[in-house]
């Protein structure tokens, strides 16, 4: 059994749903050493999230952003947690709804994603900083 863990740094992104599959692969050449295993990704932030979704048509990412902004309206008067601005509490809610981690199978040295699947970093703040993702690879 092989195990690797490293912390990845993703540059600051605008609010929205961003396809980061190639960035993850670029920062994790260790994936190529695994025949059968898994990649677990965990984002170390409460105002961003990770998910797997459409990797081809950017309108999916735009629609996801519109849906979550409509569902969790930053102007909703019920929010009292606004320490870092009006997008603070909505960002935490979006992060909780989507999740902080994903696990992807590794098969013969590559991520075993479906044809139309990609890894998303979902940025829920209007103004973000870089994001840290802990990557854990385990396998044979």
Q: What is the pLDDT of residues 21-80, one digit of tens each?
A: 999 999 999 999 999 999 999 999 999 999 999 999 999 999 999 999 999 988 888 888
Listed by start position, the domains of the chain span 2-139
Of the candidates 10, 39, 36, the residue with the CA atom closest to the CA atom of residue 123? 10
Residue 44: exposed, middle, or buried by beta-carbon count in 10 A (0-12, 13-18, 19+)?
exposed
What pLDDT sits at residue 76? 85
Strand pairing category for 48-54 and 117-123: antiparallel
Strand pairing category for 36-43 and 131-139: antiparallel
Question: By the 8 A CB rule, do 130 and 9 touch?
Answer: yes
Q: How many CB atoms lie within 10 A of CB 83?
A: 7
Q: Read off the pLDDT band of 6 (50, 70, 90).
A: very high
Computed over every residue of the chain, the mean pLDDT equals 96
What pLDDT sits at residue 84? 81
- Dig out the tokens for 88 from the structure: 């603070």
CATH number of 2-139: 2.60.120.460
Residue 50: alpha-carbon gap to chain centroid:
2
Length of the chain: 140
Q: In sequence order, what are the residues at sequence separation of 6 or more whose Cβ sits closer than 8 angstroms to the Cβ of residue 46?
A: 91, 92, 95
- Dig out the tokens for 46 from the structure: 């409460």
Could you tell me if residue 33 is left (phi over 0), alpha (psi between -120 and 50 degrees) or otherwise beta? Answer: alpha
């Amino acid at each position: 059994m092989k195990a690797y863990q490293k912390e990845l740094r993703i540059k600051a992104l605008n609010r929205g749903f961003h396809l980061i599959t190639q960035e993850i692969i670029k920062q994790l050449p260790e994936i190529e050493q695994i025949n059968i295993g898994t990649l677990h990704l965990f984002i170390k932030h409460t105002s961003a999230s990770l998910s797997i979704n459409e990797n081809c048509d950017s309108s999916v990412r735009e629609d996801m952003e519109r849906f979550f902004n409509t569902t969790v309206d930053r102007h909703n008067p019920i929010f009292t947690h606004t320490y870092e601005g009006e997008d603070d509490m909505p960002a935490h809610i979006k992060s909780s709804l989507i999740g902080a981690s994903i696990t992807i199978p590794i098969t013969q040295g590559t991520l075993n994603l479906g044809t139309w699947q990609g890894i998303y970093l979902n940025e829920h703040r209007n103004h973000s900083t870089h994001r840290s993702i802990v990557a854990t690879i385990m396998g044979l």
